Structure 1
């Protein structure tokens, strides 16, 4: 429920990533009850409020104006914040507003609602029990290379956002870092008329989007397959290790388990373990 008028509070209010029907009843209630609505783009948010029949003061709080957060919180004790789309605080300045409110001892409430990366993850068809959200990659330099290397080495699925005009370059960089055959997906325009999810190896996706595209983009990349060497790491000599263990009198089953612990696939580990134990 909306707090009493005298109770200061900041709400982070998710807004639709495409279809306006995805706004929740609670989000509408909070937007109506707030003293003002802070946002990244007053024109975009103004159009949403007009669609909802809500008239409220709009305050711009984006990456360039977030330094004014303290003043805005003083002027509007009950402040609702929305990003351009989706849940605020994820890859946008909303996180800074939360820190400012916490520093001022103002309660913060985050409403559940639309977000882009969860539907894209599910649509990818890739393993989703464990995943890492990368947000936007750095545009260039050492930090970008290090993040790409981390994605390549990571065993779990990775999700990242990208702009349409940088998508092809990022897919090509991912293919070089992770290998051209690493499975991935590109989802764009979620919940809109031209929603699309393309799935396939990174090299194929890079070629498919080489001419560019439009819309909001989510890229999902499969984790490093079991047994694939971590980029930059020395690959163990499994055969030499297996022979050493066989020479120590270890059985095929134990050698198989040890080889699997070194990253070798089960069937390959079993075949090698049998081979070396038959040699001795």
Structure 2
């Protein structure tokens, strides 16, 4: 369980980025975090992983405090984060070395390293690219390697911080498929995104505005009850199509049909 208790954060004193944030994310949830640029959602992702520490309040994962140095190593092993630009995460010369480097850092026994390497590459369908240099890969392939490097550490939670924003439609669909397979296997998946189509697949969505939690609930309620354009967000294309053809009931949207339509369009 990941909890924020009255968390405040700022880069410059007097200019809060996150303000009195309270939330709990349970193991196995698929959560999307949305909001306008500069609203604080990427800062929240870094607070979750302990890459940033709250100025006030606390962030805890299963009783471990991000503000305690003694807990941070364990948190980093259990919560992985994939960033917008995968090249920011690469420090070695081949795909295989990139994954092995992370495993050596967390002291995985040598006899287990290659099985973890194989499992991680298989999970993202990159087995045939292990000897390639990261810069030779496409954007989508680079992001899949970044995900594999996290998966090899076998975290319980994986955060995708705008991980699809630099990809084309095909690359985005590939990463979304990986997210959903990880969630199906029981992993907690947290997606920070401005692509509202991705929100359709989440179980829960958090709307952040000026560092505060404005909405916490199901995607259907967000799109039916909240004027998201006020937050500089757009309705997903599938929702707009359903609105146009009056296929949404007054009470609840047919989300399975929306998802089917979204995939058929892509």
Bigger fraction of residues in strand: 2
Higher alpha-carbon Rg = 1
TM interval, short-chain normalised? under 0.3
After TM superposition, the score normalised by the length of structure 2 is: 0.26
